Structure 1
Amino acid sequence: MEKRPRHRPERSYPEAKRQIFVSELDTCVHCGAELKLRPNWHMSKTVQTLQGPLFLAGRAKMCTNAECSHCGTRYYASQVWLLSLPESSYGLDVLAYIGWRHEHDQRQLVEIQRELNQKGIEINERNVGKLYRQYLALLGATGEEIRKKLDATVEKQSGLIFGVDALQPEGHGSLLYVLYEILSGTVVSAIQLEAPNEKDLANWLKAYQDYPVWAGLSDGEERIIAALRAVWPNAPRQRCQEHFLGNLADEVLANDTELRKQMRVDLGGLPKISDFPEDPPLF
């Protein structure tokens, strides 16, 4: 009988796509001084997503203004928690897929495991159950522990910066909306909805309306923007730099692809360069 290893073999994904995030903030929320980018990653890990393995890393920024009461405070890249929960090696899209298939489509956990395996996700039935429990905890993340983290951040920073983002797992039309707090890097809550409107999102956010909020961060989705304004009307709103630059890249990518195709056509008729240098002349 073949003896099984006591511990799970370490997984390796050398071809994983790399995604490095930087803190969304450019200036200190207390003194307004420009933040300095830290040289090292404050976190790094490889996660399995429905689009393939992904290497994630985050770089923090720090206030170096000696006259600031919060000099030395580090502001972390909280966007990483929109892709994967802390200490998890699976993407949030995998959690959303498991939750939706089990809750909405009434699939058994073992069936979901087989589906994920077919999609290239290395996971067993036990971990599917674990991720499903994390999914339920994320949807109901309004408990005492989250409140304590937010209260501690308010005491330290005098306010919060909330960000909202949405992801759509492949295979169904529902969206998983995630609320996170940027200064502490805390995933606060989530909700999974099909075709929500501004009122649906605002009702979800109102559970945290009593907190002092420095600003709100989101992508360009109008429903999210309207909900943030409805719940925190006096808080300025900023568009997430990652989404903004990504949208710019999408516009450029089509032109860049077409340009490369044309260059291959134009340069295809040129003679090939010899792999070996020609012999030098004798004289």
Structure 2
Amino acid sequence: MLGTADLCMWPPPDLEERVTRLVRQAVEAGVTLIDTADAYCPDEGSFGLGETVVERAVASLPPPLRPAVMTKGGHTRFNGTEWGFDGSAEYLRRACRRSAERLRRRPLDLYALHRPDPAAPFRESVRGLLQCVEEGLTREVVLSNVDAERIALAHDVLGPSLAGVQNEFSLLRPDGRREIRLCERLGLTYFAWAPLGGARGVAGLARSAPLAAVARAHGCTPEEAALAWVLAAGPAVVPVVGTSRSRTLRSCVHALDIRLTDAEVAALG
């Protein structure tokens, strides 16, 4: 999955051109799902920017090549650049409708709760997601940044409408195996965001001696070896790779073919 958060939250002058080029290259490399969110924007005034540029990028492709899109709601922007929450059922239904309008697709392929709202009962947020499915706004839903207990609760409410979970998971943030195992048991996809630990994480991984040794053994870069470690966590895991560079995108796709041994996986984390 190709993530677009960084580009859209810190947009360069040629944002639309770069996203369009990156989406096209991703599809050519075999990527079938693009990740965005209504809150992927630099400030309150540009809310929805990420969805708008992704829609234009996808629409520029011939229909048979257009990838699926996952977008998210529940995060808000206010007072310029501040981040907030609204996990109420009514807000999520309203946000989902607006996302469908910006992405020019109804139903949406996947709609996700961006992050649980500390001020809203989680069950209410889940029921809001179910209403989005029942109203034909989205085919399926995803939960982002949730623990195993919330996944189990949501699965009881949503049933087959729940498609997956999107949590952070990497060598630097390896505490996700309980949720990964639960996703496997429930037949859900586990979308691992920041699989390389973010921009700072990549720099740290490059200095890891154990990771460098594994990379040498497989003739790949340390970053590719780190991504292979994420993939080795289980068949339910799909990395969400956020990049603005085509070279990095090709490198991440190459990591799909790297198979670490059990000993290498254990040695790394």
Common topology (TM > 0.5)? no
- For normalisation by structure 1, the TM-score amounts to 0.33
> Higher strand share goes to which structure?
1
Normalised TM-score (structure 2)? 0.34
* Structure number with higher relative contact order (C-alpha < 8 Å, ≥ 6 residues apart): 2
Give the structure with the larger helix fraction.
2
